[in-house]
Amino acid sequence: MFKSIVALSLLSISLVAGDYTMAEKVIVKKSTRMLYLSAGGEIYRRFHVSLGAMPIGPKEIEGDMRTPEGTYSLDYRQKSNLYNKSIHISYPNKKDKAKAKELKAKAGGMIMIHGTPSNWALSPLGDWMPILMDWTEGCIALSNDDMEEVWNMTKNGTPIYIIP
C-alpha cells in the first residue's frame, strides 16, 4: 500500500512538473476556428485560432489568403522573430499541386501554425487581439501561450487534418 501511495504521489508531481500528453493527431476545424489535439481517440486540448484572411474554401493558389483543407503532417518547427514559434504544415500535397496546375498557378507553401507578433501583446487585448479576426496569409495562428502548448504537445510527423 505504501508503494501505491508513493507511486501516486510521484505521478501527481510529474503531472504538475510539466509532463505533456503528446498529440497523436491535430485537427483544425475552420468553421469554428478551433484547433484540437487528440490522443487515444479522444480530444484532450482545444485552442482558438485565426485563419487566412479569406477563410472560406480550401487554399488553391499562392496568394489567395486561404488556409488549406486536407490531410497533411507537421514536418518541421522553428523559432521565429516575428511569430514567436512556428510549426510547418506539409502543404501542398499531390492533390493541391494538381489543382494549382489546373488553374495554371503555383500552389504556394510555407503554411505554418504560429504565434503572434510580440508587439501585439502591447494592445489592451494582449496577443488575443488577432485571434478575434482572420488575418494570416493562410497560416493558422494562436496566442503565444497557446502556441507554446501546441509546440510542447506535438512532434514532427504528427498528422494534421484541416477540415471546413
Residue 26's nearest CA partner among 137, 132, 130, 112 is 112
pLDDT tens per residue across span 20-70: 799 999 999 999 999 999 999 999 999 999 999 999 999 999 999 999 999
CA 125 to CA 109: how far, in whole Å?
Answer: 30
Q: Provide the CATH topology of domain 21-163.
A: L,D-transpeptidase catalytic domain-like (2.40.440)
Q: Which residue has the cell 522573430?
A: 81
Supply φ then ψ for residue 39, to 5 degrees.
-150, 140
- Fill in the DSSP letter of residue 138: S
pLDDT tens per residue across span 92-145: 999 999 999 999 999 999 999 999 877 766 566 666 666 678 999 999 999 889
User: What one-letter code names the amino acid at 103?
Assistant: L
User: What one-letter code names the amino acid at 115?
Assistant: G
Domain spans in the chain, listed from the N-terminal domain onward:
21-163
Q: Which residue has the cell 482545444?
A: 46
User: What one-letter code names the amino acid at 155?
Assistant: K
Q: Look at residue 128 in the predicted model and tell me its pLDDT.
A: 62
